[in-house]
Amino acid sequence: MPVTLRRRRWALYALFLLPGLSMSAWVTRTPAVRDLLDASIAQMGLVLFGLSIGSMAGILSSGPLVMRWGTRPVVLAGSLLIVLAMPTIAIGAALGMPMLTAAGLALFGGGMGGGEVAMNVEGADVEAQGGRPFLPALHGCFSLGTVIGAGLGILANATGFSVVAHLVLTGVIGAGLLAWAMPAIAAGTGRISATERARQASTPRPAIWKDTRLVLIGGIVLAMALAEGTANDWLPLVMVDGHGFGATMGSAVFAIFAASMTVGRFAGGPIVARVGRSRVLLASALFAATGLALIAYVDHQGVAVGAVVLWGLGASLGFPLALSAAGDSGENPAARVALASTIGYLAFLVGPPTLGLLGEQIGLRGALVVPLAVVLLAALLAPATASRPPAPERAGEDEDDEELAPSR
């Protein structure tokens, strides 16, 4: 049965909600997991390195897989890995086995890295067919998932609910979302035929990684991914170890960050349409930098909570807007989104262990100087994301209920 553009949008919303729920379940339980593993800050950084390795493996394999098979099987495989990761992480923590916990995080990272690249390619295709901004709201569903997951995590922490049961139940919910959404993901999006791949290989043309503008956009993706990923990896521990909050309040502060991300992403589309992508990215980077600086250098719990709001609002639009800019920066948008995502996900490879090792020496608050510096760099690079003049639209492209032929 042909799939409407509206049904396709809602399926992608659900698929972005899934990793948000799962990520937040993990993040809000990191203090409890750290205690179960009896790990130091540096050791937790190495455990989190499993997430980094998985993310990069997923990212590096996703682009070629999408071009060969299309987004649908890659989205399915990535989402299944996320579902399976949750009980694996839980069992590793319960048994006090850091390597098994890291393996579970590697599964999660592989699912996030691979599946999210494919979902971003799918989302960019839906955005192009719909003729209006879609990626900010799509990433907003990831943030909405983190808000819901953070609320559940706060409740679990407050009541002493089992980490194992919490993460296993999160996996079950994720499996349900996946089963509902997958029938609406179009087959063939982003796929390039063997003939076309051979033609491209034999036709001399500048490699897309030599496109200076695209590389600059990738740098913005990296900086904003590090800003977001630092919160996902370390924010509860920054609040617990750096600002003296209890575990429940540390999770609550993460929920505030997630809520700020959600508001920014759902409100961002109309703002971008009105003032332009590059200006919004500049303001976003400066907001995030201000929040990071206040948390790092002002020793006051109330200021820290307020700064988390600035951090969340600032980080909310950087990743999706930069990916949108990558998609319309030239020919072969699927490959361009995949390349920008790959550059960006380097943040997930080097971020957790770097911040962990640095935090062991100077404290987690002091280690925030790293994301602070790269976010300020993103502000300088923001003009690279300015929109190009739009191509003429074909009649009927923006109809929500238009029946879609299989994507190219």
* pLDDT value for 343: 78
* pLDDT value for 298: 94
Which letter, b or e, does each residue of 234-257 get, where b requires 16 or more Cβ atoms within 10 Å of its Cβ?
bbbbbbbbbbebebbbbbbbbbbb
The residue type of 169 is L
* 317 in Cβ contact with 268 (< 8 Å): yes
Question: 26 CB contacts (<8 Å, ≥6 apart)?
Answer: 33, 86, 89, 105, 108, 167
pLDDT surpasses 50 at 392: no
Q: Which two tokens stand for residue 244?
A: 């003296």
Confidence of residue 198 (pLDDT cuts 50, 70, 90): low
Mean pLDDT of the chain: 83
Rounded to two decimals, the pTM is 0.70
Average pLDDT, integer, range 89-94:
90
* pLDDT value for 1: 54
Residue 396: strand, helix, or coil: coil
Average pLDDT, integer, range 260-286:
88
Confidence of residue 400 (pLDDT cuts 50, 70, 90): very low
Span 5-32, pLDDT tens digits: 888 889 999 999 999 999 889 888 888 8
* 21 in Cβ contact with 111 (< 8 Å): no
Q: Where are the domains of the chain?
A: 5-190+207-385
301 phi/psi in degrees, rounded to 5:
-65, -40
Name the superfamily (CATH) of residues 5-190+207-385: MFS general substrate transporter like domains (1.20.1250.20)
pLDDT surpasses 70 at 261: yes
Confidence of residue 111 (pLDDT cuts 50, 70, 90): very high
Confidence of residue 398 (pLDDT cuts 50, 70, 90): very low
Flag the least confident range among 14-18, 201-205, 234-238.
Answer: 201-205
Long-range CB contacts for residues 386-394, cutoff 8 Å, separation at least 24: 386/276, 386/277, 386/278, 387/276, 387/277, 387/278, 387/325, 387/328, 388/328, 388/329, 393/131
| Secondary structure letter of residue 192 according to DSSP | -
* 41 in Cβ contact with 365 (< 8 Å): no
Average pLDDT, integer, range 78-105:
92
